[in-house]
Amino acid sequence: MTVRQCYRSRFVGWAVVLLVTVVVGKGQKGPTSASMDVRPYLAAMPTVVDVTVQPNGKRWMTTRTFDVYMAELTSTHWTRHLIQFERTPGQVEVRRVHKINFIDDRVALLSGDVRTVLNGSPVCNVLRTENGGQTWSVIPVAPDTLAIPDVIRRTRDGFLYMLDLGGRLWTSSDSGRGWSQTAFPEPIRKGTVVEIDMKTRQFGVCVDRDGNVWFTTNGWKSVIQPRMSMSSGVRPLLLPDQSWANDIYMLDDGILVTDGPNVFHTAMDSIVWKYMPRVRNVAVDDARKTIVTVDADGNVATRTGINGTATQVIKGIKGPRVLRSDGSRVVISRPDLGAVILEAGQTIRLPFVDEPSSLPPPSKVITGKLGDWAIWAPPVNLGFVDVYRRAAPSAPWFRDTTLLAPSDIFRIVGKDSLMIGDETRRIVYDAKQRTAKAFELIRPLQSFMAAPVSRMRIMTEYALDDETRKEWCDYRLRSGKLHCTEVVDSSSNGVRSKTFIKDIEPSKVAAVVQGLNEHPSGTLDIQRWMPTDVDRLDYYRLLDTLLRRDRFGDSVVTSNTQTQRETYVMVCKKYFETCLDTMPRLQEDDFRQALAAWRTWSKERNIRMEVVIENTSGDIIRFRSGTANDHFPPGMVPWTMSFKDLTWRTYHSPFTEFINTHWPVDAGTDAYRSLQQRPWVYLAVASWLDAEHNGRRHHWRR
């Protein structure tokens, strides 16, 4: 799921984007009173992505809600920072913000998914400031949607570089004012690099999908014969609440590889990888000298070089979400601790609490007999909205629940119930029972159902490097059935077709449309995902494939010996299998959190699907899916549906499943569609439970 906010100011725009990724659907219960969220406002928001410190001591933080917060040197509170644009080239779309990298006190770069439109096509950008974050400029990187960096990195000689989602390397030698692509030389296969580190603009190391570690001494003009890493270095696609950190570091005296919960090192002239006992997290400064480690007991230590003596600096920091070092200070964060800054022998703690005076007023507030209700960020059309509550005007707000609903209508019903919705759909939330029920007031597709379905087109769009490719198949009415004979492929190489013969009963298409008509919101119901015997078999096959590393891999599966490795795989597989038995007892809140924690995207392709359905009266319904680069949980592909003058969003899973069964599988759409299947929902739940209960965080790769 991706929340967008567009800014059409030509010169200056303000960016504040809110995202909530928890669902309460039709007939679902909210979290129990014991799990009611009474944390401060900022802490109640989605996870902190990154914390960094400006050279002058000012602290910065980015969150998964695309917000940026700031704390002055002497402040004990965080204040929301509005990104003010200057010299904006028309429309700017901020989809995601990641890390802020300060080059000095004035110049900084903000990475993430920032897009503009040039000649009708999307362009990927980074944000850059020259005045310490007061205003930001949009710097173009590539004329496609794959140049999205998780982080911009810097060498010790000031050279900037980043790896995008397509495995391409982008570099800048002018502090980020301009970017150019550097191609990896043969024999590195195109699009296979998943991690990179460079200590200077000439010396670097990278890891490909097969686990090969490649070296360069001339800025990637050529590479040195690779050595195998412990396992494939991978970009984490699951549980992105962890801040992005290098999986590989190149130092003067060797190389560090982080592989799941383990850290390994090797000398530059050696091919032997050595295990760093009990070390779970590692970070290295830009000078590639100071190493910060966190062990299994939460002890944080620093050392100079891989073979240097470790000096303990703080205890009790198990599993930090953010771990950074700039040589003179160490930055750590964890949700329960907030930000912890270690500098000059001092420990500074900043809890993730928003300054009350900086909170914007709620967009809507209503007062009832038992207190006040409020919402801060109303959704557009169908969306996710946090509902807050307080017992009295002087009491603090706490988040009571999250609903998937429009919010044009927001009022109290009875003593302790809330109604939220619009003229077409209402949700009644019973705060005492903590249940939410949806009511459809009108059927927007009723007029479409008055005439039979006569045609259906399914089309996919691929963004491949610099070209766009389209494929489509047309189902036309023939002898009482919708009949398709071919798939048409249009690209820069011309138009081609291949045979694809399939029939559909028009009544089946009508039934899918009727399902959208009855429940256009497509709310997520946990009962729908209870595993059947067939689901179990499919899920077990998926686990066999994952843990055998045939097509996918789990980067936490790494041990010193083959026996230890096999034992670890067996333990993980057994736990993942038993997680299915917990589904009937799983709290809805846990289920929603597990799906919200999942993110995935395609590295090679930007894929979008479009469906057009027409009836004999000439009425047309259009559906456009989210792209493969968008972030959405398994089983919940977002569709934008338009009919006549109505447009709304749906996550209707039966519609997605129907389209998948009537489109030919190829290498492009297989990856996109596989994540919409039921076993991946169970994998998301099992991965989340394993991380929460056992501390094993899984990074899946394709």
Strand order in the sheet with 409-413: 409-413, 417-421, 425-430, 435-440
Q: What is the pLDDT of residue 640?
A: 78
Task: Give me the mean pLDDT over the 655-660 stretch.
Answer: 81
Among 359, 286, 293, 370, smallest CA distance to 328 is for: 286
Split at pLDDT 50, 70, 90, the class of 562 is low
Q: Region 77-94: what's the mean pLDDT? A: 77
Q: Which two tokens stand for residue 108?
A: 């900084």
In this structure, the strands spanning 121-129 and 68-71 are unpaired
- Better-scored residue on pLDDT, 607 or 497: 497
So what's the pLDDT on residue 360?
A: 65
Distance CA 337, CA 11 (A): 39
Question: Angle, to 10 degrees, between the axis of helix 506-518 and the axis of helix 653-660?
Answer: 160
In whole angstroms, give the CA distance from residue 57 to residue 48: 19
| Residue 638: predicted pLDDT | 72
pLDDT tens-digit series, residues 120-164: 778 889 999 999 988 999 999 988 877 877 678 899 888 999 988
Predicted pLDDT of residue 22: 24
Mean residue pLDDT of the chain comes to 75
What is the residue extent of each domain of the chain?
A: 362-440, 448-519+602-665, 529-600+680-701
pLDDT for residue 586 is more than 80: yes
**Can you give the pLDDT at residue 700?**
59
Q: What is each CA distance from 167 to 101, 204, 236, 264, 445, in whole angstroms?
A: 21, 15, 14, 23, 43
- Among the residue ranges 12-21, 180-189, 193-202, the one predicted with the least confidence is 12-21
Rounded to 10 degrees, what is the CA torsion of 242, 319, 344, 101? Answer: -10
- The SS3 assignment for 627 reads coil
What is the model's pTM? 0.57
Strand pairing report for 346-350 and 338-343: antiparallel
Most confident of 251-265, 320-334, 494-508: 494-508
Long-range Cβ pairs for the range 493-498 (8 Å, 24+): none
Residue 467: pLDDT band with limits 50, 70, 90: low
Fold of 362-440: Thrombin, subunit H (2.40.10)
CA pair distance 638, 652, nearest whole angstrom:
8
| Cβ–Cβ under 8 Å, residues 439 and 417 | no
Confidence of residue 611 (pLDDT cuts 50, 70, 90): very high
Q: How far apart are CA 249 and CA 256, in angstroms?
A: 5
CA nearest neighbour of 600 among 531, 699, 468: 699
More confident residue, 442 or 23: 442
Residue 356 to residue 393: CA distance in whole angstroms: 14
Q: What is the pLDDT of residues 191-219, one digit of tens each?
A: 788 789 999 999 999 888 777 889 999 99
Q: Which of 290, 210, 298, 225 is nearest to 256 (CA)?
A: 290
The per-residue pLDDT for range 332-352, each reduced to its tens digit, is 887 667 888 988 778 888 877
Pairing state between β 639-643 and 646-650: antiparallel
**Residues paired with 93 in a beta bridge:** 6, 115
pLDDT score recorded for residue 390: 85
643: which strand partners? 621, 646
Instruction: List, for residues 686-701, the tens digit of each pLDDT value.
Output: 888 887 777 666 655 4
